[in-house]
Structure 1
Amino acid sequence: MGLVLRWLVRLVTAAIALTVAVVLSAWWIGSRSIPDYDAEWPVDGITRPVEIVRDTAAVPHIFGETDADLFYGLGFAHAQDRLWQMLMLRRTAQGRLSELFGSATLQIDDLLRRLDVYALATASVDALDPDIVAELQAYSDGVNAWLRLIGSEALGRGAPELFLFTPEIAPWRPADSVAVSFMMALQLAGHHEEEVLRARLSLALEDPGGLRDLMPDAPGEGTAELAAYRDLFDATLPRFAQGQTGPRHPLHPHVLGRGRAGASNVWAATPERAAASGALLANDPHLGLSAPTIWYLARLELETGGVIGATIPGMPVVLAGRNDRLAWGITSAYLDDIDLYIEEVNPANTEQYRTPDGWAAFRTDRRVIEVADGTPVTITRRWTENGPVIPGSHYDFATVTPPGHVMSMAWTALTEENTSIQTGMRLMRAGTIEEGLEAGEDFVAPAQNLMLASADGRIAMQVIGHMPWRMTAHQTQARMPSPGWIEDNRWQGVTQYFANPRFVDPESGILGNTNNKMVDRDFPLHVSFHWGDTQRITRLTRLMEAREVHTRDSFIEAQLDTVSAAARNILPLVARDLWFVDETAPPGTPERRRQRALSLLADWNGEMNEHLPEPLIYAAWMRELQQRLIRDDIGPLAEEFLSFEPIFIERVFRDIGGASRWCDVVPSTAVETCTDIARLALDDALQWLEDRYGSDIESWRWGTAHEARHDHPVLGNTRLFSWIVNIRQSTSGGDFTLNRAATPGTMPDPFLNTHSAGYRGVYDFADPDSSVFVIATGQSGNPLSRHYDDLGELWRRGEYIPMSLDPELARAGNIGITRLIP
């Protein structure tokens, strides 16, 4: 027996030693891909030496003698820290993910090939000004210099992921940077999904007024300073259309679903509204959370002066930031720059479709998509005069496409002259409001609100991006897909830049946008029916009006504000007949539990604090309430409305236009009241919470359910690597707080924080070097680097790092200086 035990001990010890050796070997090999920031490299393609000074947060400060050399240095730094992310963005744009990931990404490749994104990006390079192309080439040369060093110096393939996937890495080209800008446009586009959902809802509802309730127009005329679908197609569509879209991969540009196409906050104040007599600007763009975040902080010492802010690896552009004379921020403008068209196919010749002038031939070609460990897939692409034909498997198009028809998409971004990247490169050198506004003229898509603040005390906000010119007689007003052969439904081109909304030097001294409705204009200068916010703007207005003058710190306070205007508005309506009306119920009963929850909510101020139970009770209640109101009316389509719609609830409980009819359960013989449904929904929510978090209501915490999930798009779902590459954080905020932390609404974790401000910046021209910024993870995309997540805890706590253009401050305490020698 002793001999057996000794051998068992030896075997276990050997197994443990072998495991440790394997782990350590893998760690050592993977760590070779972590760049040495304190190194000197001889490289081709620069005229004079370039220095990349990494400050204590690993933010590169790039110094050189020419702008071309500086962009070279930025390309080098991007590739050092985010090579895998850059390669995935490029491969996604090319529609070549399935070469690595197999059939799981086939739907993404199919969509990107049909949109022809990479070909359009390649063609768009010729539309750029020669000096911009030269700088894109310099940036590409910097990326390629690092790629060559990876091979010649055995630097761990450049990223740990490349040990698992071994694709050939083509040199970076200017077209690749333009393609990345296309990918950001696609991620921020969402009007086509709204069109489809509105059409599906119109098919599901007996009462057309229900469409106005569940997908209401944003109220009011806008704030900057502080026909039925079936009738169009002769009833050829089914009465109810259920979703048929296949599963989406994390790399899909719309994996987060409806309402997550893009969001952001930005506001600015003139010196008259600033305590220190310098213009202020705050900006926090909202995108889906990921590890690493899409944002990367950088500073360039251009010939026109220093510029610092947030970049996206793959593009040599400070998208949100400042120089010493001008600061800029962006939000999604929600301009309606996409239309869907139902195209009738000739029954006698399926190669033709109907136009205003009769039948015309589709423009067609074929493409082969290579699939790892599978058979290549050949697709036939088709285009109409309105745009590319998109199969019904994408975006639920099949649910609203009549037999004998196909769906095409018109989108301003689908052009061979997409010069959007040029705007960003011009902005970095702009020194005045006029120069900033002029730079915006080159922007095509996706439409953005460009906020500007200058050192001389002026502020402005301009919608940048092409705005379709639509006819007043458009049959659906671009709210739903329309017949593509009707001339009045077709675009008549795009409007000129001066027609876009613009706000300069307001009398109030403050401009702001939270993706809210900013103007209300008729066709052909109509901007949008669908906006990204109706709640945050009310909170921002209140905070801005609460002070006569603001400071950098008051702007930070607003940026981090977690009070939900929606909760403050909706709870008194929903609970008005439930609060303090029942006799005290016995302990342990559902009635007693309900009374305790209502008591907590009655004393709550609407702050979505991670340490409180009230936000969790409120969020769960509103989710169950909305589902109880709509599921009996629209059936499975209710799955498209899992995110809380405050205006819908307000319409129902105020009985606007008879909207209280939603409270009556259609199949039942009794007539239910809104109070009945509110009580039932609260009981449902509390039971779900008790099953999930235990019976002690006071122990429930919003942050437990509202965990920020920064997942690696490729390795994050694997058991072996998820614990290394994914980042988890308890967070405050919610869907309708200025510190926005949007939730998916889907089970099993409906209240996760999946869409938030991956970048925050606050700029103060009274003391420019006191400006601050931060990103949600870290500068490095390498999970083995200490800079993979080192900024994430600051971000979670609402802290920032200095955003200084002082070169001596950057050098002081630096963690390394990379020297590139010609």
Structure 2
Amino acid sequence: MATLFRWLLRLVSVTILLGILGVGLAYYLASRSLPDYDKTLEVAGTAGDIEIVRDNAGVPHIFAPVDRDVYFGLGYVHAQDRLWQMTLLRRTAQGRLSELFGRRTVETDTLMRRLDLYTHARMSVEAQDDETRDALEAYAAGVNARIEEINSDSLGRGAPEFFLFNAPIAPWQPADSLAVIKLMALQLSGNFRDEILRARTSLALPDPEMIEDILPDIPGPGIAELPEYAALFPEKPLPRFAEASRPAPALMPVAPPGMAGASNAWAAAPERSAGAGTLLANDPHLGFTAPSTWYLARLQLSSGGVIGGTIPGVPAVMLGRSEHIAWGLTSSYLDDQDLYIEELDPENPERYRTPDGYKSFRTRRSIVDIKGAPPVTLTLRWTDNGPVLPRKAFDLDRITPQGDVVSLAWTALGDKDSSMSAAIGLMKAQTVDAALEASKAFVAPSQMLTLIDDQHIAMKLIGAMPARDPQSQTQGRMPSPGWIAANRWQGTLPDSDNPVFRDPKGGILGNTNNKIIDRPFPRHVSFDWGDSQRIMRWQALMQGREVHTRDSFIEAQLDTVSPAARTLLPLIGRDLWFTGEAAPEGTPLRQRERALDLLAEWNGEMNEHLPEPLIYAAWLRALQDRLIRDEIGPLADEYTHVDPLFIERVFRNIDGAGKWCDVLRSAPKETCTDIARMALDDALVRLGERYGTQLESLRWGDAHQATHKHSVLGDVPLLNYFVNIRQTTSGGDFTLQRGVTSGTGNDPFANVHGATYRGVYDFADPDSSVFIISTGESGHLLSRHYDDMGTLWRRGEYLPMSLDEDLARAASVGVTHLVKP
């Protein structure tokens, strides 16, 4: 027995020693790729020497004698800090993820090959002006200088992830940067997902007119009645029952419905500013990732200094300020995508029906290489309307007649996309007028551009707007027959049709993804908007002060009061509060009374330390599910977020919407009060199972945790504790400090989408402007800059956004000199 014990002890000791050695080796290899910010490096391809000053947050300030070298420096620092992220973005756009990740990303690659984004990006290089092409080439040279340095000096392959997913890093090309912009356009455009959901809901509802309730229009003048979806295809059988949706493929860049993009921006003219200078606040909203989508940088160009948020892979400050102007971006919700049902020739499936008869598809073969498996050969097909999508992608087969296919029209699918030139022109503009002129070259993704210079403020929808026929059968709201001429696009509208607002009499402009204009179809911009609630709170905060300051704009950015809660709670609880006799402790009735007592005193603030936001959110979630599940069955799972307009329509019985409260499969006739009471009981049971029955001890922040997830390693057990960044947060789906809940899974209240960048610019004192991103500059998990801004971001704090060169040098943590050999 003693001998056995000794051998077991030796075995355990050796195992522990090998484990320590393995961890030590992994740390050594990973740490080799940590960038050194304080060095001199000889590089080829520059006109002169480049100086990169890193401030104490790791933000690079790039100085060079000519603009080309500044872009070279930006490419170099992007590759220093975010090479894995850039590589993943490029592979996603190219449809080459499966070369690294095997079969689990084949569906994603298949979709990306069919969209052919990378080909469109490559063709669009020639559509840029000379200055932009020069910037793209210089930027690519800077990225490649870093890749060459990694290879020649054995710098740990550039990032730890490359040890886990080994593949050569191809040199960066100008087309790669344009492909990143097109990929962002895909992530920010959700119109076609809305079309699919509307069509599926139309097929599932027992009364097609009820679609106006569950998918309500933003209040305003009505539109012409749409046909029932099935009526568009009278001789083609379509499923009349709802099915659960398929899970999203791995690394799919297309956002789920309601998650395609959002943002806030508002500006004040000098007469509404306490300092008599213009003000601008902007916080674009995206899914939380580690590292963030954004990377802060300062470029010292010949036109002056520019500082703000860049996207790794793109040679421009996409939002921020210069010495002369400041600009912010918000999702416009322009309807720039349409789906078409394409009827195949019954005698030849290689042809599809057009207004002029059957026509052959345009085709091309493409091979998807798959790690650990044989390659897959695809036949890519295009119609006059656009590329043919995979039949099962996004549950398209649930709305497509048997034997037909679906194509996609989208403004980003063009070979002359000059959006990059618009970004460079905007960055160099000296006035609001010049910036508006530069914005005309923008194609996709469509955005609301908010601008200030020292005297003027403006807001404009930028991006190409589709020209639709007034006789379109679905007005772009559902898939339509692609062989009917009236359904097809007729090019794009002129830039003069894009809504623009300048120097309003009230001195305030803003956008929270709300409805911005009320024009009849087809110049309507969109039927579906991203916000009907935050705009009300924004109006109250802006009009509550005669003049504003940088701090009042920050206060508005961080506001956590939910106008939806203030509107809906009195409606759904009006017949439940203070009714009935006191119930015994420990009974469900007593628990309901305690919940109602808490909510009765609540002001609608979605504060992470309070129990009321969690009770409210759980109640509304259970309420919507009870209202819709018996009508649309498993499709209710697609309605992951509460729609306040739907709840309000039902409880105010607008146009008879109160009928949603009656349960179809029960004999009694339920009232809305009955459903509200039952939903509250449902919510309290679920909260008790997950968080405990002591309601006063609940905390919204425990459920509303923001997880900035690593795109590849974020779900790997053990590793996820090191690569993901977690924070308890305030805010909610409808607050200005927006923190959109996941709406699915075991953590439906997790914060997954919000302000990944915040900036506030004050032209009364430009160097007092501030900004922050949600994680840190570095994508390297061993870097102190991986998550150092995350704590500030969570607390609602900011970094100084100064163009003062001496200030940057005083706070420097390192200076990199890129010198000619």
TM range (shorter): over 0.9
Q: 1:582 aligns with which of 577, 580, 585?
A: 580
What letter is aligned with 2:372?
A: D
1:433 correspondence with 2:440: no
1:372-521 → structure 2 map (5 Å cutoff): 372-455=371-454, 457-521=455-519
Q: 1:12: which partner in 2?
A: 12
Instruction: Note the C-alpha offset of 1:317.
Output: 1.3
Of stretches 468-477 and 178-187 in structure 1, the one that deviates more from structure 2 is: 468-477
Of stretches 694-703 and 797-806 in structure 1, the one that deviates more from structure 2 is: 694-703
For 1:719 and 1:362, the matched residues in 2 are separated by 46
Q: Is the partner of 1:676 in helix, strand or coil? A: helix
Q: 1:43: which partner in 2?
A: 43
1:23 correspondence with 2:20: no
Instruction: Note the C-alpha offset of 1:583.
Output: 1.1
1:386-785 → structure 2 map (5 Å cutoff): 386-455=385-454, 457-785=455-783
Q: 2:272: which partner in 1?
A: 273
Instruction: Note the C-alpha offset of 1:445.
Output: 1.0
For 2:650 and 2:240, the matched residues in 1 are separated by 23
Instruction: Note the C-alpha offset of 1:156.
Output: 0.8
Q: Deviations over 1:562-586 (max 9, x none)?
A: 1111101111100000011121100
Q: 1:333: which partner in 2?
A: 332
Asked if 1 retains the 8 angstrom alpha-carbon contact of 2:291 and 2:778, the reply is yes
For 1:667 and 1:14, the matched residues in 2 are separated by 65
Q: Is the partner of 1:390 in helix, strand or coil? A: coil
Q: Is the partner of 2:751 in helix, strand or coil? A: coil
For 1:645 and 1:381, the matched residues in 2 are separated by 38
Q: Deviations over 1:127-153 (max 9, x none)?
A: 111221011000000000000000111
Q: Deviations over 1:774-810 (max 9, x none)?
A: 0000100001111100100100010000000000000
Q: Is the partner of 1:799 in helix, strand or coil? A: coil
Asked if 2 retains the 8 angstrom alpha-carbon contact of 1:663 and 1:673, the reply is yes
Asked if 1 retains the 8 angstrom alpha-carbon contact of 2:295 and 2:309, the reply is yes
For 2:23 and 2:376, the matched residues in 1 are separated by 38
1:333-372 → structure 2 map (5 Å cutoff): 333-372=332-371
Asked if 2 retains the 8 angstrom alpha-carbon contact of 1:50 and 1:821, the reply is yes
Q: Is the partner of 2:80 in helix, strand or coil? A: helix
What letter is aligned with 1:707?
A: Q
What letter is aligned with 1:451?
A: T
Q: Structure 2: which 5+ runs fail to align?
A: none
Q: Deviations over 1:419-461 (max 9, x none)?
A: 1111111111111011110111111012100000112x20000
1:228-307 → structure 2 map (5 Å cutoff): 228-234=228-234, 236-243=236-243, 246-254=246-254, 256-307=255-306
For 1:166 and 1:12, the matched residues in 2 are separated by 32
Q: 1:150: which partner in 2?
A: 150
Q: Is the partner of 1:350 in helix, strand or coil? A: strand
For 1:241 and 1:257, the matched residues in 2 are separated by 22
1:810 correspondence with 2:818: no
Aligned residues: 816
For 2:92 and 2:328, the matched residues in 1 are separated by 27
For 1:820 and 1:101, the matched residues in 2 are separated by 35
For 2:242 and 2:175, the matched residues in 1 are separated by 39
Q: 1:787: which partner in 2?
A: 785
For 1:240 and 1:704, the matched residues in 2 are separated by 41
For 2:267 and 2:237, the matched residues in 1 are separated by 48
For 1:445 and 1:329, the matched residues in 2 are separated by 16
Asked if 2 retains the 8 angstrom alpha-carbon contact of 1:245 and 1:394, the reply is no
Asked if 2 retains the 8 angstrom alpha-carbon contact of 1:244 and 1:393, the reply is no
Q: Is the partner of 2:474 in helix, strand or coil? A: coil
What letter is aligned with 2:41?
A: W
What letter is aligned with 1:52?
A: I
What letter is aligned with 2:321?
A: R
What letter is aligned with 1:86?
A: M
Q: Is the partner of 2:401 in helix, strand or coil? A: coil
For 1:243 and 1:740, the matched residues in 2 are separated by 31
Instruction: Note the C-alpha offset of 1:221.
Output: 6.6
* Alpha-carbon distance change, 110 to 605 in structure 1, aligned in 2, over 3 angstroms: same
Q: Is the partner of 1:294 in helix, strand or coil? A: coil
Q: 1:106: which partner in 2?
A: 106
Instruction: Note the C-alpha offset of 1:206.
Output: 2.3
Asked if 1 retains the 8 angstrom alpha-carbon contact of 2:50 and 2:73, the reply is yes
What letter is aligned with 1:410?
A: A
Asked if 2 retains the 8 angstrom alpha-carbon contact of 1:245 and 1:393, the reply is no
What letter is aligned with 2:707?
A: R
Q: Is the partner of 1:12 in helix, strand or coil? A: helix
Instruction: Note the C-alpha offset of 1:244.
Output: 6.9
For 2:245 and 2:235, the matched residues in 1 are separated by 23
Q: 1:63: which partner in 2?
A: 63
What letter is aligned with 1:726?
A: N
Instruction: Note the C-alpha offset of 1:253.
Output: 1.2
Q: Deviations over 1:6-38 (max 9, x none)?
A: 554444344323322221121011001000000
For 2:233 and 2:600, the matched residues in 1 are separated by 50
For 1:75 and 1:240, the matched residues in 2 are separated by 53
For 1:705 and 1:96, the matched residues in 2 are separated by 36
What letter is aligned with 2:721?
A: W
Instruction: Note the C-alpha offset of 1:3.
Output: 5.9
Q: Is the partner of 1:370 in helix, strand or coil? A: strand
1:171-182 → structure 2 map (5 Å cutoff): 171-182=171-182
Q: Is the partner of 2:731 in helix, strand or coil? A: coil
Q: Is the partner of 1:742 in helix, strand or coil? A: strand
Instruction: Note the C-alpha offset of 1:205.
Output: 1.3
Asked if 2 retains the 8 angstrom alpha-carbon contact of 1:334 and 1:515, the reply is yes
What letter is aligned with 2:66?
A: T
Q: 1:72: which partner in 2?
A: 72
For 1:239 and 1:43, the matched residues in 2 are separated by 62
For 1:242 and 1:33, the matched residues in 2 are separated by 50
For 1:269 and 1:498, the matched residues in 2 are separated by 24
| Length-normalised TM-score, structure 2 | 0.98
Q: Deviations over 1:237-266 (max 9, x none)?
A: 335254576432452112x51100010000
What letter is aligned with 1:114?
A: R
* Alpha-carbon distance change, 438 to 624 in structure 1, aligned in 2, over 3 angstroms: same
What letter is aligned with 2:775?
A: T
| Length-normalised TM-score, structure 1 | 0.98
Q: Deviations over 1:45-97 (max 9, x none)?
A: 11111011110000000001000000000000000000000000000000000
Q: Is the partner of 2:501 in helix, strand or coil? A: strand
Instruction: Note the C-alpha offset of 1:486.
Output: 0.8
For 2:204 and 2:11, the matched residues in 1 are separated by 66
What letter is aligned with 1:398?
A: D
Q: Is the partner of 1:260 in helix, strand or coil? A: coil
Asked if 1 retains the 8 angstrom alpha-carbon contact of 2:114 and 2:387, the reply is yes
For 1:428 and 1:242, the matched residues in 2 are separated by 49
What letter is aligned with 2:203?
A: L
Asked if 2 retains the 8 angstrom alpha-carbon contact of 1:244 and 1:398, the reply is no
* Alpha-carbon distance change, 22 to 404 in structure 1, aligned in 2, over 3 angstroms: closer
For 2:596 and 2:245, the matched residues in 1 are separated by 39
Instruction: Note the C-alpha offset of 1:366.
Output: 1.3
Q: 1:308: which partner in 2?
A: 307
For 2:722 and 2:522, the matched residues in 1 are separated by 52
Asked if 1 retains the 8 angstrom alpha-carbon contact of 2:274 and 2:547, the reply is yes
Asked if 1 retains the 8 angstrom alpha-carbon contact of 2:239 and 2:399, the reply is no
Q: 1:206: which partner in 2?
A: 206
Instruction: Note the C-alpha offset of 1:209.
Output: 2.2
Asked if 2 retains the 8 angstrom alpha-carbon contact of 1:221 and 1:519, the reply is no
For 2:232 and 2:776, the matched residues in 1 are separated by 51
For 2:496 and 2:441, the matched residues in 1 are separated by 12
